[in-house]
Structure 1
Amino acid sequence: MGGPNSDESSGKSSDSRPTATLLLGGDAAFGSDASPDLSPERTNVLVVSVARSVQAVVEDWREYVGALPAAFGLITYAEFDRSASASASTGRPPRQPLPGSNITLTSMADPSDLRRLGTAVTLYLDDWADTDRETLVYVDALAPFVDASGPESTFQFLHLLVQSADQLDADVVVRFDPSTADDRTVNTFRPLFDEVVDATTTAAFDADELRAVLGNNRRRFVLRVLLDTSSIELERLATRLARWENDTDEPTDAEYDRAYTALASIHVPRLAEVGLVAFDRPTERVRLADGNWSTERLERYLTTPSDDD
C-alpha cells in the first residue's frame, strides 16, 4: 500500500478509500467485525490496547485470523516497564522489535497522554506508507482513554487519528462499550466515522460455524461446566480446567496460570462473541447466555468429536 495518492502501487481501485468504523460493544478480541476480509500476508496491522499484553493480542489474532500479518505493531500500556529510562515517557515513543518475529512493541505509560499516543500511531503509519500492503489500525477499547482524558480530548484524538489514517490510506476500527458512557458521549463520536456497527447484538451462526467454535476442547469444557452450574467465577473455572487438563487435584501455579490466561483472553470472549456465554467483568462470573441456545442443542454439539481429538 502506498501513500494517499498511490492507488496503482497498492492494487486498489482509484475510487476506493479507507474506512473508519466505530464498533459499539462486543469484546476486544478480533472477530469478523474487527478484522473483516483480511489477507494477513498483504496487511499491516497496528493494535492499540490499554489492558492486553503482547501474548494475549498475538494469541487472539492467531485464534481468529490465523497467520500473523506481514507487519504487526502493538501499542500497549499493559507491559510498561517503570524501571525503563526517561525516554519511555518523553521524546519519541520507543519501538522494540521482538526477536524472531515481525512484531514491534511500543510500551506506553499514561493513557491520558493522547498527544503521545497520536505520535506513536503516526510513526507506524509513516513507516508503512510506502509498502505495497493494506493497513489496519485497531483500538480494542476506547473507554479507558475516555476515562483518563475525558470525551473532548478523546474526540480530538479520534478526529486526528481518522484524518491521518485517511491521508495514509489506512482503515481504522475503534471499539467502544456504550455501557461505559452516556448516550451524549456515544453520539459525540459517531460523526467521526464512516460506519457505526452495533456489535452488542448476537450474530446468527450457522451449524458449520458453531461446530468450528466448539471444535476446541477448552470451550467444550466451559460449556459442560455451565450446563451443570448456573454461573461460576472465572478463577474457579480456571482451577477446574487446570485439574481436568493435567489430571490432578492439585494443579501447579503455572498450570493454573495457563488455564486462566487461555480462558480470560481467548475462550470465554470467543464464546461470548457467538452468544453462548455471558461474562460479567466486575464480578468475573461466567454463565450461559440467555437466548436461542437450548440445552439439548448444546449437548448435541458437545457429543460430536472435537477438532482437538
Structure 2
Amino acid sequence: MGGVNGGEADACGGDGRPTATLLLDDDPSSDAALDVAPESTNVLVVSASRSMREVVEEWRRRAGTLPAALGVITYAEFDRSASAAPSGTPSRKPLSGGDITVTSMSDPADLRRLGTAVTLYLDDWVDTDRETLVYVDALDPFVDANGVESTFQFLHLLVQSVDQSAADVVVRLDPSTTDERTINTYRPLFGRVVDATTTRTLDDDELHALLANGRRRFVLRSLLDQPTLELDRLATRLARWENDIDEPTDTQHTRAYTALASVHLPRLTEAGIVTFDRSAERVRLADGNWSADRLRRYLTAPLDDDG
C-alpha cells in the first residue's frame, strides 16, 4: 500500500507486511486519497454517514477510477428488508458498474454484527492476488454509540482479523472532535499514527517560487487532468512537451525522468502538493491545505522560469 493523505506515512510497511494505521484527519473521504493502486486493490469502506453513491463518486473524483473490488458497509442507507440474510448474518447487495457491493447496517452500537460484515469481505478476498485495504472513515460515531472501552475492544479484534488476512487497515479519527485522552487510548493498537492535520499551508511567495519552474508546472497541470500517473509515463509526456516532438529519444526521456525523480517531484512532495511513491514509481496529487483552484490560478499566471 502507499501513502496516507499526502504521503506522510505508508498504509503498509516498507517490508511489505500489512499494517494498521490510525489516521488523524477531519476529512471522511480520505480513502480515495490513499496512495493505493486501484486496479490491483480490494477496498472495503466502513461508513456511518456516507452512502454508497457518495463513496463511489469520491473515488472517481479523487483517484480517477474505482478499486478492483469495492465494498461499502454503510449506515446511511439502511434497508430493513435487505439488511440480513435468512441466517441473520449481514448480506451484501451487488451493484452494476463494476465489482461493487454494499452492506446496509442500522445500528452502530452493534459492533459484533459489524465485525461479522467485515470478516465476510475479508474471507471472500483472501484468495485473490490483490492487496486489500479496510478503511473506517469515521470512528467517532462508534465511540459515541459504544463508549471508548468497547470500541477499543472492537478495534483490537479488527486489527487482528485484518492482519490474519494479510490486509491493511486505516481508521480515521477526527482530532477536532476527539479529546487527546481518547486518541492516546487507541494509539497502541496501531503500527503507525498519521496526523494529516499538520500539513503545512504554503503562502503565496512560497507557492510562486515553487511554480516558477516550467517542469514543475507541467507536472501539476498533468496531475490536475489525471490525478495519478506512472513516473515513466509522466517523463515521456514531459520529454515530448519540452522537446516539441511526438517520440522523444532515449536520452531526452532519461533526462526528463532523472530531473523529475531527483529534483522536481521531491520538491513538490516536500511542499505537500504531490505524493511520490518511489518504490511503485507512481505520482499523484496529495490532499493538503492548499486549494486546487488557487493552484490552477498560479499555473495560468505568467511566471518567470527559474530553470
In structure 2, the partner of 1:131 is 128
Mark the CA change 1:99 to 1:138 in structure 2 (over 3 Å): closer, same or farther: same
User: Could you say what secondary structure the match of 1:179 adopts?
Assistant: coil
Please state if 1:304 is matched with 2:303.
no
Is 1:140 the counterpart of 2:140 in the alignment? no
How has the CA–CA distance of structure 1 residues 24 and 80 changed in structure 2, closer, same or farther, with 3 Å as cutoff? Answer: same
SS of residue in 2 equivalent to 1:175: strand
1:153 and 2:150 matched: yes
1:53 to 27, 30, 51: 51
Are 1:275 and 2:289 an aligned pair?
yes
Q: 1:201 to 1:61 in 2, by over 3 A?
A: same
Gaps of 5+ in 2: 1-11, 203-209, 212-216, 227-285, 302-307
Deviation at 1:144, TM superposition (A): 0.7
Is 2:205 the counterpart of 1:191? no
What is the CA–CA distance in structure 2 between the aligned matches of 1:30 and 1:90, rounded to whole Å? 34
Aligned to 2:68: 70
- Take 2:37 and 2:75, find their aligned partners in 1: how far apart are those partners? 27
Task: Measure how far apart 1:181 and its partner are.
Answer: 2.2
Give secondary structure in 1 for the equivalent of 2:84.
Answer: helix
User: Matched residues in 1 for 2:169 and 2:224: separation?
Assistant: 30
Give per-residue Cα distances to partners, 1:139-163, cap 9 Å, x unaligned.
1111111111111111011111110
Q: Which runs of 4+ in 1 moved over 2 A?
A: 85-90, 202-216, 297-300, 302-305
Match of 1:27 in 2: 27
Q: Which runs of 5+ in 1 are unaligned?
A: 1-11, 217-271, 278-292
Q: Deviations over 1:248-291 (max 9, x none)?
A: xxxxxxxxxxxxxxxxxxxxxxxx953247xxxxxxxxxxxxxx
CA deviations 1:125-182 (Å, max 9, x no partner) are 0000000010000111111111111111110111111101101000101110122222
Q: Which residue of 2 aligns with 1:42?
A: 40
Deviation at 1:63, TM superposition (A): 1.7
Distance across 2 between alignment mates of 1:90 and 1:112: 20
Kept after mapping to 1: 8 A contact 2:44/2:135: yes
Q: TM-score, normalised by structure 1?
A: 0.62
Confirm or deny: 8 A CA contact 2:26 2:176 kept in the other structure.
no
What is the alpha-carbon root mean square deviation over aligned residues? 3.4
Checking the alignment, whether the CA contact within 8 Å between 2:47 and 2:136 is kept in structure 1 is yes
Against the structure 1 CA distance between its residues 90 and 188, is the aligned structure 2 distance closer, same or farther, given a 3 Å change threshold? farther
**Superposed displacement of residue 99, structure 1:** 2.5
Q: Which amino acid aligns with 1:199?
A: A
Give the Cα separation in 2 of the matches to 1:204 and 1:67: 28
Say whether the 8 Å CA contact 2:83–2:91 is kept in structure 1: no
What secondary structure is seen at the aligned counterpart in 1 of 2:107? coil
Identity of aligned residues (%): 63
Contact 1:21 1:196 in 2 (8 A): yes
CA contact (8 A) 1:214 1:301 kept: no
Equivalents in 2 of 1:126, 1:164: separation in Å? 10
